[in-house]
Amino acid sequence: MKTTISIFVSILLVLLVKNNKSLEIFKCNNTCIKTDTHPEYYVVDPKVRHLNSSFFNSGNILVVIARGGKLSNLNTGTFSKLNGLRRLYLDGNEIKYINYGSLNNLFMQHLDLGLNQIVDVETEALSKLINLQSLYLHGNKLTTFEFSWFTANNVKSPLKVIYLNNNNIQTLQRNTFYIFPNITHIYLQFNQIGYIGDNTFNSNDKLEVIDLSFNHLSNISPFIFQNTPAVGKFLIAFNSISYINRDLFRTTHIKSVSLHPNLWICSCYHDFIKAQVNTTYYHHYKYPYLKTNYHEGKDITMCYYELKCNEFKQKETDFFSEKYFNHFMDKIKNIYQEVLSESTQLCDSETVCQKYHVCRNGICWNLYQKFHYNVKNGIFFWKQ
């Protein structure tokens, strides 16, 4: 009986391993070598729907990879005993809620929850992740981002990089990023943000990159970067902005800014160029990680008729009621649609998408298949 069971178990294991053959793990030192045995990595079968702590019997697991599968909820304490865990990949599943207790792990540095169906995160659900440095929440259904997910008592988080792009976020609360003093990169493109308050990035003096392209901004206050001297890259293409006060750039060291298309009023825009900002903009979009290519000199003209900026200030209310405004809004929407359809495949079921892609939130997303670990510097990366 025992032998029958163990034969059965072995066959099952072989089958499980076979099913995961599409995922390849490489260890890199001077060259990269594919590893078949990888005690440091635990790869979860994509058919598993409910993960719990009994899946992991070794505290030495460094990386758990459960991507592109059917996980719908995370049980309390699933990862809490994995003292060696540094990286957790749960992207491309069907997770809807992040409950308190499901992601308790004191050591995790990298958490990928991208491309799920997350609509809500419970208060303090991420509060035990006291070493978390990078968090991917892109491609979900979030309508808000709250620092109460991380703390109830304003305890600071070491987070450096956060991906919130491709959600349905509409507003950012006051001091949203207050508890992240070390954050360097914030990705918010493809949301519906209409307003950025002066205090939004007030406590983020290490912030280097902020991507707000593809949102609904009509205005940028000149004071949003008053306490963020490190900002070097500011991306605001594909909004409805008509005017930027150049004071915005006086206190920062912004080296590149994506400006087009927007609803620029040209004379104000020229004024802005005279402020010696290197104006480049990006043009080409690819999923799931937005790639940015700069094409200098290739302009999409989006100028409203000639007005002096001070004139514009007086006419501000007229401007928004005029038919021109709607005309330009339509123009932006058309370009937006063009860019989207060039770079994305829309889907309503998995079968529409190419190999290694998953259909999430109506878009085919690419799941990279080759996992590389550089033993020398501890850097991990994915390849197609």
Ligand X SMILES: *[C@@H]1O[C@H](CO)[C@@H](O)[C@H](O)[C@H]1NC(C)=O
Q: How far is CA 139 from CA 100, 362, 363, in A?
A: 21, 10, 9
In the complex, least distance from residue 65 CB atom to ligand X, rounded to whole angstroms: 18
The letter for the amino acid at 204 is N
Q: Which residue has the tokens 């914030």?
A: 186
Residues near 237 by beta carbon (within 8 Å), at least 6 away in sequence: 213, 214, 258, 259, 260, 261, 262, 281, 282
Task: Give the strand pairing for 370-374 and 97-98.
Answer: unpaired
Question: Among residues 54 and 384, whose Cβ is nearest to ligand X?
Answer: 54
**Beta-carbon contacts of residue 102 (< 8 Å; ≥ 6 apart):** 73, 74, 75, 76, 77, 78, 125
- Nearer to ligand X (CB atom), residue 32 or residue 303: 32
Shortest Cβ 12–ligand X spacing (Å): 12
- Minimum distance, C-beta of residue 94 to ligand X, in the bound complex (Å): 16
Smallest distance, Å, CB 158 to ligand X?
3
Tokens of 144: 């808000």
Quote the least distance from Cβ 353 to ligand X, whole Å.
Answer: 28
Would you say 101 and 77 are in contact if contact means Cβ atoms under 8 Å apart?
yes
Closest to ligand X by CB, 44 or 142 = 44
Give dist(CA 362, CA 365) in Å, integer: 9
Closer CB to ligand X, 191 or 280, in the complex: 280
Nearer to ligand X among residue 155 and residue 329 (C-beta) = 155
Which is closer to ligand X, CB of 285 or CB of 287?
285
**Nearer Cβ to ligand X (166/184):** 184
Angle at Cα 360 formed by Cα 355 and Cα 366, nearest 5°? 35
Asked whether 342 and 333 are in contact (CB, 8 A), the reply is no
Output the smallest distance, CB 97 to ligand X, in A. 18
The binding site for ligand X (CB under 6 A) comprises 29-30, 50, 52, 54, 156-158, 181-182, 256, 278, 280, 294, 375-376
Could you give the maximum distance between any two Cα atoms of the chain, in Å? 89
Residue with CB nearest ligand X? 158
Q: What is the Cα–Cα distance from 209 to 235, expressed in whole angstroms? A: 8
Closest approach of ligand X to the CB of residue 254, in Å: 11
Amino acid, res. 271: D
